[in-house]
Chains A and B, each alone.
Chain A
Amino acid sequence: MSPPVVEKVWEPITRIVGSLGIHTKVDFADRRVTECHSTSSIFRGYSVFMRGKDPRDAHVITSRICGICGDNHATCAVYAQNMAFGVRPPALAEWIINLAEAAEYMFDHNLYQDNLVAVDFCERMVGETNPAVLRRAETTAAPRAGEHGHRTVADIMRAFNPYEGELYREALAMSRLTREMFCLMAGRHVHPSTLYPGGVGTVASPELFDEYLVRLLRYAEFLKRMVPLHDDLFDFFLDALPGYEEVGRRRVLLGSWGAFQHPEHCDFRYESMSDWGRAMFVSPGIVIDDELVTTDLVEINLGIRILLGSSFYDDWEGQEEVFVTRDPLGNPVDVRHPWNQTTLPRPQTRQFADRYTWVMSPRWLDRRTGELLALDTGGGPLARLWVTARAGLVDVPGVTADGGGIDISLPRTAERPEVTWRWTVPRWSNALERDRARTYYQAYSAALAFHFLEQAMTELRAGRSETWSPFTVPSDAIACGFHEAVRGLLSHHVVIRDGQIANYHPYPPTSWNASPRDCFGTPGPYEDAVEGTPLFEENGPDDFKGIDVMRTVRSFDPCLPCGVHLYLGGGRTLATRHAP
């Protein structure tokens, strides 16, 4: 008789922000995960307590949603406020916000990749889960050793051992440098102090940008070792474990809501959003089965649906007020769109056959087929790079997207010459490509930051040093903000009535990625990516660590209070399968 299908619970999942849950059944005969549920165990109630508040406070409050990318929320909220208040910030303010957000990407991806994800690939972990792979790494010369200085792949793995490895420690230090860059532009990390509707309170001076520049050069120097090093590490796994590309693989269903406004184009009016959206320095768009189906933020907006099915909430449809029936262009707005959502929390016991999580199920309606798609973000970078490459709209010094990929250049630094890397659209949306994109996107952000600095200093030299435009709050308005949080697409939708917030719904990336089965039974992205994933871990059922599942879940860069369940070791036997 073959090993049985068993249920295993791991709770909480560590090395993510917040707690996230996945409940899984593992078939040890087939070495495959057969079933997976994603669950979240914390509810805080932002969309409930935002109602009735002053709309000018939205960015301050919503920043507190997230402790690692709160500034992404604050920025997205400011974009929505600018639309609601009809204010266009001075160009210099937009460059300052872009510099802050570039620093956030550089910081967060670096810390997450090299201090949290990398531990799944470190010597200690690989030694415990795949000793044969570690033995092979010891004798595998790192192909790009000349660029990063680590002779074998095992040397790279050792450098990521927690607290002791030199790269682990260097990454921590580097994550502080990039956070200082953020603080130069936005005052405080992670909840910024100088961000406002209409611009920023930051005082622009030549020194401010120089202080950013000297730090950016140090970070660029660091990337010149880290990009080739991560390529060596991830390529090794694909080589050492044939079939590893199937780990965490799911259908290509990627969304990016775009990042970095171009102040020449962006007037924050909904009516012109399709145009200024396409001028962003990270393109908005949706890729389905490697086909770019839209780059239109209005179309993206109107397609969003918030479904229930497995979540601890009562439905609002037919029970609560419909706030918005038409968008400012006259298009119909669905009752399940965030503008019309009402959050009705209903705490209850966790039943995996029924309701099991505090996360809802955001989906995107593909009008061509009528499908409600469980889009994912590829952890953020994979969707951003994929959409931007296919859209081919970004072409500035340092970054060129051309349909098949993106060329990224960093200038000469103290110890290394100028470099150009190419990120090519991969064949799969899987765990390793999500991780690889995270490294390349750090370079993408750094290259753009050089461009933004140049633009900011040009404004300053021309004597345009204002960073804020005054505004008034209308008594009634609807607005939306679209942005890319570090780990993926982010939207804020607001309805203002009588000068107060009547409805407010932020949709961060993890709401999409960690969503549960919806009312139609469609699983969320984590569930979908873990389900069917093959297992390469050498351990048997008794000392199973689930490393391939961990790598899958962490490749999405989870960021919400949740926990992953994977019950084994003394777990209930669910089914016994006979070997053929």
Chain B
Amino acid sequence: MPGIDVNEAVDILWLTAGLSCDGDSVAMTAATQPRLEDLVDGTLPGVPRMRLHHPVLAYEVGDEFLEAFRRAAAGEMDPFILVVEGSLPDERPAGEGYWAAFGHDPDSGEPISTCTWVDRLAPRAWAVVAVGTCAAWGGIHAMAGNPTGAKGVEEHLGPGWRSAGGMPVINLPGCPVQPDNCTGTLLHLLRQRVGQAGALELDGLGRPASLFGETVHECCDRGGCYEQADFADGYGTHGCIVKLGCWGPVVDCNVPRRGWMGGVGGCPNVGGTCIGCTMPGFPDKFMPFLEEPPGARMSASAVVLYGRTVRALREVTRASMQVVPEWRRR
């Protein structure tokens, strides 16, 4: 597909009408690297302007707002980026009703299901982004015992699916998505659209490789506590919280490195156990959240002997380093 000129705008159609909480949209407004305004204004060098069609931020209402979506579904819009937020229900058991809908059919007056919109828009999209864990793999609404049959966009579209731009569904998990992970990925796609960047590198799960290549534990500033077997037995202290239910050692996520927003906050780095919210197995495989992960019991026991020895040795050295050199006292 030919690229476009940097002075043209790229349409982004953002559907929030999956089974979602709109938390990824709200997260997107929290981003600072880059900000939403940076993308809308088109002030970043070499980056085309983003023309955002988003129900939470739109000036237009109702049919005026839907006009862009209808145009895109009819093939009358230049290749666009489709962002889907929320999981997609299985509408078959809903019979003549629906679990999730967006807008209505002007002829029948009946609501149009969100799945129908995805089926109409995805084949015409240059890229499809599944933002948040719900859209990626079903997330919280796909929890065991759910009545709606919720699943992710990739599963809905089927194996081997490719966008008009030749890409698989780009998964941006997180519950919600880390704000800068979201706008940063959109920034890359805007650059890629005008040939200012190569294809976004994705890992085996369709995630941007640069964002999900390390575990929470690997970038957690409490990793050193783990190494020295300094395990907290209650919340609100400084030790490693793996025994309180933190899944950080086996979860792919960069939040402890980036912080939650503007470098502030996060999860285990600020005392909150990692619940695995970026993972395909979320939430069921991480529940109950407030219990030590079964694997952690073994690995934490294994580091105890090493960790305590290292800690004791370091305490000796540390005590020595806390005294100024002898010659300086003369």
Report A's interface with B, CB cutoff 8 A. Answer: 9-19, 41-45, 48-49, 51-54, 56-57, 60-61, 64-68, 70, 93, 111, 115-116, 119, 124-125, 162-163, 169, 172, 175-176, 179-180, 183-184, 186-196, 198-204, 211, 312, 345-350, 466-468, 470, 545-546, 550, 561, 563-566
CB distance B270 to A187 under 8 Å? yes
CB distance A163 to B56 under 8 Å? no
CA distance A189 to B100 in the complex (A): 25
CB distance B271 to A187 under 8 Å? yes
CB distance B272 to A190 under 8 Å? no
Is B307 an interface residue, CB under 8 A from the partner?
no
CB distance B22 to A68 under 8 Å? yes
CA distance A10 to B265 in the complex (A): 40
**Given A12-B102, A57-B288, A350-B111, A42:B29 Cβ within 8 A:** no
Task: Give me the 4 closest cross-chain CB pairs, A-B, nearest first.
Answer: A67-B23, A193-B272, A347-B97, A183-B265
Contacts of A11 in B (CB 8 A): 62-63, 66, 103-104, 111
Contacts of B203 in A (CB 8 A): none
CA distance A124 to B60 in the complex (A): 11
CB interface residues, B 122-167, toward A, < 8 Å = 139-141, 143-148, 150
**Considering only CB atoms, which chain B residue lies closest to A559 in the complex?**
B22
CA distance A57 to B283 in the complex (A): 10
Q: How many residues of B contact A (CB 8 A)?
A: 84
CB interface residues, B 13-54, toward A, < 8 Å = 16-17, 19-27, 29-30, 32, 35-37, 40-41
CB distance B20 to A347 under 8 Å? no
CB interface residues, B 236-259, toward A, < 8 Å = 236-238, 241, 244, 255, 259
CB distance A468 to B235 under 8 Å? yes
CA distance A466 to B233 in the complex (A): 13
- Kindly identify which residue among A52, A124, A189, A202 contacts B261, using a CB–CB cutoff of 8 Å: A189
Question: What total of A-B pairs shows CB separation below 8 Å?
Answer: 270
Is B223 an interface residue, CB under 8 A from the partner?
no
Contacts of A195 in B (CB 8 A): 272
CB distance A191 to B272 under 8 Å? no
Is B305 an interface residue, CB under 8 A from the partner?
no
CB distance B63 to A347 under 8 Å? no
CB distance B144 to A201 under 8 Å? no
CB distance A561 to B271 under 8 Å? no
- Kindly identify which residue among B29, B110, B234, B266 contacts A111, using a CB–CB cutoff of 8 Å: B29
Contacts of B25 in A (CB 8 A): 17, 67
CB distance A14 to B58 under 8 Å? yes
**Considering only CB atoms, which chain A residue lies closest to B266 in the complex?**
A187
Contacts of B140 in A (CB 8 A): 61, 64
Contacts of A19 in B (CB 8 A): 16-17, 55, 102
CA distance A200 to B96 in the complex (A): 46
Report B's interface with A, CB cutoff 8 A. Answer: 16-17, 19-27, 29-30, 32, 35-37, 40-41, 55-63, 65-66, 93-104, 109-111, 139-141, 143-148, 150, 175-176, 234-238, 241, 244, 255, 259-262, 264-267, 270-273, 275, 277, 283, 287-290
CB distance A163 to B41 under 8 Å? yes
**Given A45-B141, A51-B145, A180-B264, A68:B55 Cβ within 8 A:** no
CB distance B110 to A350 under 8 Å? yes
CB distance B236 to A467 under 8 Å? yes
**Considering only CB atoms, which chain B residue lies closest to A183 in the complex?**
B265
- Kindly identify which residue among B24, B62, B94, B270 contacts A566, using a CB–CB cutoff of 8 Å: B62
CB distance B261 to A56 under 8 Å? no
**Given A44-B19, A203-B236, A187:B29 Cβ within 8 A:** no
Question: 5 A-B contacts, Cβ less than 8 Å apart?
Answer: A11-B62, A12-B65, A48-B146, A196-B290, A468-B234
CA distance A11 to B70 in the complex (A): 13
Contacts of B16 in A (CB 8 A): 18-19
Contacts of B93 in A (CB 8 A): 347
A209 to chain B, nearest CB (A): 14
Contacts of B100 in A (CB 8 A): 41-43, 561
Contacts of A56 in B (CB 8 A): 288-290
CA distance A407 to B57 in the complex (A): 34
